[in-house]
Structures are given as C-alpha cells and as structure tokens.
Structure 1
C-alpha cells in the first residue's frame, strides 16, 4: 500500500460546541478536500458512536476510510481508573467493526509540568496497559505526544523517557510534526531516529515563532518528511490537521486549503 492521506478532525474540535453534532458534514468536507480517510476523537462522532454501522455506511457513501480513532484520557494514576478502563473498552469494542483502523492514544495535558517523573511514569503504565489489550484484539496502537505547556511529553528529554518507557511489543509511535517542532526539536531528526516505531503520522505546520499555521505556510519541510517516509518503506496514513486561529474560525475552509496543499506538494 502507498502512503495515504487523511484528515484529522481536531481542526473542527477546536470549535466543539459548533461542530459536536456535525460529523456527517465534516465527512463531506473531508471528501471534497481530496483526502482518502478520517481520524477523529470519539467526542466528534456524535450519534455515529452509538452504532458502528452508521459510520460504515457514511464512510462508504463518500468513498472514505476510517484511518484511526483517538482515545484521549488523563491517565494520572499508576493504573487506569474504572472510568478510563471502561472508555477504552468501549472504543476497542467499536474498533472491532473497523479492522483496518488504528487506535491512537493521547494523554490529555495538565495545567503545568509539576511532578513530572511521576506523571510520565503513570501515563506510560496506562498507555502500555491499553495497548496490550488492543494488541490482543488485533488492533494496532500508536502513542501521540502533544505540546501544550502542561504536556509531560514535550521536550527532547521527555521524549527520551517516553521512548524508553513505551512497551513496543504493543504500542508504536505516532509522530506529530507540529508538536515536535513546538517542543524545540528538529522534526526530521525525530522521524529518522524512530522510523522503525512509526505506525501513524500527523502533519501540521508552525511558524518560526511557534504559532500554528496552515500547511505550507510554516517552517516545517513536510515534502521532505513525506519523501523520507516513502523511502523508509512507511505504508500507513499521514493525517493532516490545522490548529491556527484561522482554522478555528473556519475549519471547513482550512480543510479545503490543506487538501489542496496535500494534492500539490505531498501526493
């Protein structure tokens, strides 16, 4: 399989109250923008999360694939809470209906970086536990670190702890180009150093001053990263998203613009 390009729905999730019940319309925009698939946090699915058959039908009608679903939880304790474990199980049951879709794990960032060692350890314990259960059901997992100020996997030092602590028998890595750059690291260096662990990819752009930008309007060499992924034999998804103020105001327009960039510069 060649590299496939999809759209991550966080671009709409930034305006959640406006778009929380608009997943069908979001799929229409993703199709119109030229993407082949979609990845979403379950909060964006609305009624589609009640019946996987509804999502299968909606995707099929638009010629789209479900690339992945995202599980975003706090994971603050050495073991999952009952609520966290139950939410993970519900999503695993749902993904049984989409055997080609991946599970992307994201820790919700805190308000600060206090108790860093303990929080990183606890997060990794929970991430590995979810991934082990997913692997037992044939679901491919990848962990996606982020870069808000309260993230515990933000800097190069954090990444060293992260890669040392991930149980790679069960969980791979989902690099996000924008979050890597926002953490002060060289994006392509991270992709190269951990290429064997990459199971899923997120692209978004950022300025030199670390402001989110539309694809192609920032400083990240996404064509170069795409070329590296192809040369390294990567055959998964690249999910495009945008977190700029302009995307928050008009996510549909941002998706169409980023789809055009994907077609012209990446595909």
Structure 2
C-alpha cells in the first residue's frame, strides 16, 4: 500500500511477490507506471518472474449518475488494455468520500457507473467485479450498504470481489457475507484485522481465513485469492510483510486446497 514509494517500481514488486510464493498480482492502474500504456512490457515483466496478472484494479470517483467523460475514457482504456490479458479480472473500487452524506443518491450513482463499466467489459470478454472498501467515507461499508450494492449490481455484467478485512471493518462477519453472496463472487481479497479494528498480518487477526478457504474450496471457487495487508508494519516494511504473509499462506492455507 506504499504507493508513493513503490509507484514505478513494478519489477521490484514482482520479485517480492514471486519470492513470497505468489502466483500473480493485482495492482492498481497507477502502480504499473510506464507499463500502464504498454501491455507487452507488462507481459514481459510478468513472464520473467513466472507470474500472472490475476486482476487489475480501476479506482475512480464515480460520483455522478453517469460516468464523466474522463472516467469513461479511462475505463475504456483499461478495458482495451486488459484485452491483451485474457482471464484477468477487472476490479472496480470507488474512491471513498469525506463522509456519507447523500448516501442513497451516491449509492445509486455508483451502481449505475459500476454496471455501465461492467457491461462494456463484458462485451470485450472481461470479467468485472466490484470491491467495496471500509474507510469512514465509503458508501458501501455496512450490512445495509452491502444489501444495496449486491442486490443492485447487474449479475450479467458485474460480480462481487469480497475483501474479508473490509467486511469485518464494517461490523460484519466475513464468512457470513461470502456465504450469502457466493453466486456473485468473481474474485477474493484476504486481509486480517484485530478485534480492536486495527489491521494486522494474515493469520494474526480475528478473521477465520482457514474456514473461508475451506468454504470456497467446497463450493468450487476457482478464481484468484489475493492477499493484502494495510497494517503499520506493512506501510513501514512491505517487503518483509509480504514474505511473512506468503509463509502463512504456504503453511496454513495452501494445504486446504491441495
């Protein structure tokens, strides 16, 4: 999550991910640096490390009832870019606002934008999934919000990318939400949280990722599971934290799906 430090250091990010045992990455578009407009260069970098582009995250404001010209153009650019990476998921993350005022209107606007982008992605053969987050100004943060979001997405075009940490941060049980909306799930994020609400390393928090992994296995989920950490330790030393998370995945989670 150290965007400023790692904004144009993709080769380093790939090396760390591979060393941690990862099979792929999910960067935000801004993390690709110069390769954000050069898919061949990104493919070459991935191939050198034996990694896949599991997903690419498009994060925009989507505040109005339809996309702005700039948002529409950027979404189409990214959709066209992903045509060069068959099977890669396009995840959509809305920038959190400063507060939750005008909630119903803002939620309706966001859904209209998500479904519009999802439809255009679908027409190009790209799977699209919305990833809600949990800052205080997020408009899809609580159980009621999730009902609005996940019942408002057009399932023909746009699926759901649950993030276990953001679900827990919103006062929900991650396992329950994943079970409730399993038919919509196209992509998964694992992130752990202490009982006091602070982010922590995978396996050290209160979220039962082993049980969730077993459930996903038992329901034939065959997509990506991406691991994130937003703790203070991750901000200070992301390379070490990535290695530690990789060790936990190898030791505790991979045997479940082996």
TM-score where L is the length of structure 1 = 0.94
> In structure 2, what is the equivalent of residue 266 of structure 1?
253
Query: Higher RCO, 1 or 2 (CA under 8 Å, sep at least 6)?
Result: 1
Tell me how far 1:136 sits from its aligned partner: 0.4
Tell me how far 1:178 sits from its aligned partner: 0.1
> In structure 2, what is the equivalent of residue 71 of structure 1?
58
1:135 to 122, 127, 132: 122
> In structure 2, what is the equivalent of residue 87 of structure 1?
74
> In structure 2, what is the equivalent of residue 46 of structure 1?
33
RMSD of equivalent CA atoms: 0.6
After superposition, give the CA deviation of every residue in 1:155-212 in whole Å (9 maximum; x if it has no partner). Answer: 0010111112111110011000000000000111101111111100000000001100
> In structure 2, what is the equivalent of residue 234 of structure 1?
221
Distance in 2 between the 1:109 and 1:20 partners? Answer: 20
Distance in 2 between the 1:119 and 1:106 partners? Answer: 14
> In structure 2, what is the equivalent of residue 151 of structure 1?
138
Q: Which runs of 5+ in 1 are unaligned?
A: 1-13
TM-score where L is the length of structure 2 = 0.97
CA contact (8 A) 2:63 2:109 kept: yes
Equivalent residue runs for 1:1-267 within 5 Å: 14-267=1-254
SS at match of 2:216: helix
Distance in 2 between the 1:66 and 1:19 partners? Answer: 18
SS at match of 1:84: helix
Distance in 1 between the 2:219 and 2:110 partners? Answer: 30
Question: Could you list the runs of 4 or more consecutive aligned residues of structure 1 that deviate by over 6 angstroms after TM superposition?
Answer: none
Tell me how far 1:93 sits from its aligned partner: 1.1
